[in-house]
Structure 1
Amino acid sequence: MEFSQYDVNALLQITNRPNLVFTEGRGMWLTDHNGKRYLDYLQGWAVNCLGHSPQCIVDALASQGAKLINPSPAFYNEPSIRLASMLTANSCFDRVFFANSGAEANEGAIKLARKWGKLNKSAAGENRYEIITFNHGFHGRTLATMSASGKSGWDTMFAPQVPGFPKAELNDIASVEALITDRTVAVMLEPVQGESGVIPAQPEFMQALRALTKQRNLLLIVDEVQAGMGRTGELFAYQLSGIEPDIMTLGKGIGGGVPLSAMLCREEIAVFEAGEQGGTYNGNPVMTAVGAAVLDELLKPGFLQSVKDTGAYLRAELLKLCDRHGLEGERGEGLLRALKLGRDIGPQIVEQARNLEPVGLLLNSPRPDLLRFMPALNVSRDEIDQMIAMLSAVLDKIGR
C-alpha cells in the first residue's frame, strides 16, 4: 500500500514523523506498510519492556477483555487489587494509585506531596508546597509536570508556569540544600535522567539526598517512569542506591505497551481524602491485568539478572564501537544506555539507520550529540550484535 493512501492529515500535527506506517510488531522487530522490517531500539521509548506483542500481554488482553473491561473506578476490581499487592510486596511502599500515563502519575505525586505539606506545616506554621526538582529533568507534558521538568525552553512554551518548582543540579547535594525554605515539602528526581541523555544519579548522591530530606522533614519522590520496572537491572531504580523513598511513580514499562502508570507511597504519606484524586480509567481491569502479566515475567527467577548481564554486554559492545569510530564513550544503567558521539550527528544517524536496506534500524537521539538505547529487556545478544553492525555501517558512511 502506498503511503499516500493514508489520510494522515486527519491527525493533529504534534511531531515530525517519517512517511511510514507500522502495521505489525514481534519482539524486537517492527514491520511497516511496505513489508520492510526494522530492528527497534526505541521500543516505544522504553515502553515495550518485553518487546512487541509478547504472548503474556496478548493473553492477558484477550482473557480480561472477555471478562470485564470497565466497572468504573468507583468499585474494586480483581486485577487492580492483584497488581497493587504485587507492587507493594516487592517494594518499600504500602499504597498504589493507578493512572494512564507517567505524567498523570507524577501529577498525583505532586498533589499528594502538597496535601501532605498542608497537613505538616513548617515550624512557622506555613503551608509547604514547593518541590525541588532538577535542571534537565523530565516529568511529563501536563502544565504542572512541564513546570517541574528542567528541560530548556519549557519555562516559556505555555507560560505562565505552575509555580513551586525550584531547580537544583543533579549529583550536587549543596545545590539542593541551598533551595530548601519553609515552603519546601519535597525533592523529586529521576534516578536516571532519561530525556536529557541517560544521566544516572550517583548512589552517594541519592544516599545524601535521602539523609538530607529525612533531616529536614521533606518527602523524597522518585520518578521511575522510564527507569523503573527492571530497566536498570533492579526491579526499581531506587534499589541501586539502597535507599527507601516516600513516593515513587511508574509508567512506560509497567504496561508493557498499554496505557498504564502508577503512583506508590508509604502508608504515612497516604493522606488523600475521598474526591481529592481520581480518574475515569484509573485501575482499569484490562490495563492492570496486563501490568500483572508483565510483572509476573519480570519476577521470574533469573530475569533481572539477565537484564544486568545483557546490559553489561551492550555496554561492552558500545565501548568497542567507540574505539573503532573515535566516539566519546557510553553511560547508563542496565538496558537504558547512551552513546556519546562527540559531535552533532545524532539526527543524521537516526535517519540513515532507519533508511538502511533491506532491513532498517530504529534509534533515538534525545540530544544531537548522543544516541539512547531502550531495547526490550529480553533482547538477545544476537540482536545486539546485529544492531552494532548496522550502526557501525552507518558511522562508516557518515565518517567518509
Structure 2
Amino acid sequence: MRSKQEYMEKAEELIYKTYNRFPVVFDHGDGVFLYDTDGKEYLDFAAGIAVMGLGYHDKEFDDALKSQVEKLLHTSNLFYNVPAVEAGELILKASDMDKVFFTNSGTEAIEGALKIARRYAYNKDKSHDHEIIAMNHSFHGRSLGALSVTGNDHYQEPFKPLIPGIRFAEYNDLDSVKALMNDRTCAVIMETIQGEGGIYPATEEFLKGVRKLCDEHDALLILDEIQCGMGRTGTMFAWQKYGVKPDVMTAAKALGNGVPIGAFLAHGKAATAMSPGDHGTTYGGNPFVTAAAAKVLELFEKRKIVDHVKEVGDYLWEQTEALSQKYKIITAHRGLGLIQGLELSVPAAPLVKDALLNERLVIISAGANVIRFVPPLIISREHVDAMLIKLETVLKKHS
C-alpha cells in the first residue's frame, strides 16, 4: 500500500489540477466520521459538500446498493426500469411536483431546468429572444449553461462568451428584479438559499415577490435546491418553509448519498413544456442510481430525518450563535437548519485548513471568508458540542 504522500504525489501527476486539495487522503467513513490512510479519525461537518445526508456506511443504504448491483446496473432510457419508477414516485410525493427527469449531477439538472424555460417560452411565440433573470453571487454549476446563470465574474471570465439573454439582479432585492422583468423574460432562477455565495437564505418577502412577478409575466420560477434541499433546512425542500412553490426545481447532492445523481422537477404548465427528443442522457436515471435515490427517500421518511434536522439545527444555531458573540473575528451568522455559515473578518481558508490538520475537524468555506456547516443530517447534539470545542480552539489561535 502506498503512503499518504505517495498517493498525493501520484494524484498531482495524474489528475487534472482544477482543485487545490488539502493534504489528507481519506480511506473510509463510518457514521459522521472519516478516517484517513493513517487511521486518524475526523469529525465531518462538510458531508462531501452537503452530499452524505445519511452519513457513511449506513447499512440499510449499503444493502440496497449491493442488492441492485446483483440485479441490474444499466439499460439506457430506451427502456423502463423499476427503481426509476420507485424513485420518481417518492421524490414527486416529497416535492408535490408533477414530473421528474433524473440526471447525473446538479449541474445537468440546471441545464434541464434552463431548457424547460426556453422551451416553454418558445412554445408560446416561436421566438428566440427570451431572457432569463439570475442572481448576483449565485452558483449553479460549471458547465457553460449553468455558468451563464452563475453570478460571479471569477468563474465566468475565462469562458466567455456564455449563453446570451441572461440578466443579473440582486438577491433579496425585489426592486432589482422588477427593473429587469419584461415581456421577453421567460424565467427567474435562484437558489432558495445561496450556498457558495456565503449562506444567504432568501427572505420571505423576496421569494413571494419574485413568485408574484413570474405569475404576472407568465415566466417560470426556477429554484435551485441542489445544496439546500433534501431535508437540510428542516423541511424536505427549502421552498416548503416559505410556502412558495416553484414551476421548476433542481435537486442533487444528498439525493444519492454519495451516488452521483441529480434531478429537475416541474409543476403545472412547466411539466408539459418538453417533448420527446428535447432532452436526454445515457446514464441519467439508470437502475443503480435511482435505487440509491429511492432508498435515500425511503429512509428519510422512515427515520423522520426532517424532524431530526429541525431539532439539531436549532441546537447548532443556538450554540454557534453563542460562539459568534464571543469572538470578534466572527462578523455574521446566517443559515437555516443544517446549512449555516459564520462570516469572518479574515479569510476562511487558513482556519479551515487548521481545523482539518490540527483538530481533525472537516469544515469547508463558502466564498472567501465564510465557514460553512453542512454536516451529515444524522449528527447529534453531542457531535455539535464536539465540533464547537475543536472550532473554538482554532478561533482562539486566529483571533
Would the aligned equivalents of 1:107 and 1:144 in 2 still touch at CA under 8 Å?
yes
Paired residues in the alignment total 393
- Segments of 5+ residues of structure 2 without an aligned counterpart are none
Could you tell me how far apart the structure 1 residues matched to 2:240 and 2:268 are? Answer: 19
Determine the structure 2 residue equivalent to 1:41: 45
Determine the structure 1 residue equivalent to 2:23: 19
Could you tell me how far apart the structure 1 residues matched to 2:137 and 2:368 are? Answer: 15
Could you tell me how far apart the structure 2 residues matched to 1:384 and 1:4 are? Answer: 31
* Secondary structure of the corresponding residue to residue 328 of structure 1: strand
Could you tell me how far apart the structure 2 residues matched to 1:33 and 1:155 are? Answer: 36
344, 349, 352: which one aligns with 1:350: 352
Structure (1 or 2) with the greater helix fraction: 2
Deviation at 1:360, TM superposition (A): 0.6
Determine the structure 2 residue equivalent to 1:140: 141
Determine the structure 2 residue equivalent to 1:152: 153
**Counterpart of 2:238 in structure 1: which amino acid?**
A
Deviation at 1:127, TM superposition (A): 4.0
* Secondary structure of the corresponding residue to residue 355 of structure 1: helix
Deviation at 1:298, TM superposition (A): 1.6
Could you tell me how far apart the structure 1 residues matched to 2:303 and 2:284 are? Answer: 30
* Secondary structure of the corresponding residue to residue 31 of structure 1: strand
Determine the structure 1 residue equivalent to 2:122: 118
Determine the structure 1 residue equivalent to 2:279: 277
Deviation at 1:240, TM superposition (A): 1.3
Could you tell me how far apart the structure 1 residues matched to 2:69 and 2:56 are? Answer: 19
Could you tell me how far apart the structure 1 residues matched to 2:124 and 2:70 are? Answer: 46
Matches within 5 A, 1:34-73: 34-73=38-77
Determine the structure 2 residue equivalent to 1:313: 315
Could you tell me how far apart the structure 1 residues matched to 2:140 and 2:397 are? Answer: 36
Would the aligned equivalents of 1:128 and 1:185 in 2 still touch at CA under 8 Å?
no
* Secondary structure of the corresponding residue to residue 222 of structure 1: strand
Could you tell me how far apart the structure 1 residues matched to 2:297 and 2:185 are? Answer: 35
TM-score (norm 1): 0.95
Deviation at 1:129, TM superposition (A): 2.9
Determine the structure 1 residue equivalent to 2:254: 253
Verify: 1:99 aligned to 2:93, yes or no: no
Cα 1:251–1:321 change in 2 (3 A) is same
Verify: 1:323 aligned to 2:325, yes or no: yes
Determine the structure 2 residue equivalent to 1:205: 206
Cα 1:349–1:398 change in 2 (3 A) is same
Could you tell me how far apart the structure 1 residues matched to 2:113 and 2:144 are? Answer: 14
Q: Deviations over 1:247-290 (max 9, x none)?
A: 01101011111100001002432222222101111111111111
Determine the structure 2 residue equivalent to 1:88: 92
Would the aligned equivalents of 1:64 and 1:285 in 2 still touch at CA under 8 Å?
yes
CA root-mean-square deviation? 1.4
Could you tell me how far apart the structure 2 residues matched to 1:199 and 1:320 are? Answer: 20
* Secondary structure of the corresponding residue to residue 117 of structure 2: helix
Deviation at 1:345, TM superposition (A): 3.7
Deviation at 1:141, TM superposition (A): 0.4
Would the aligned equivalents of 1:113 and 1:129 in 2 still touch at CA under 8 Å?
no
Would the aligned equivalents of 2:247 and 2:268 in 1 still touch at CA under 8 Å?
no
User: What fraction of aligned residue pairs are identical, expressed as a percent?
Assistant: 39
Could you tell me how far apart the structure 1 residues matched to 2:6 and 2:156 are? Answer: 39
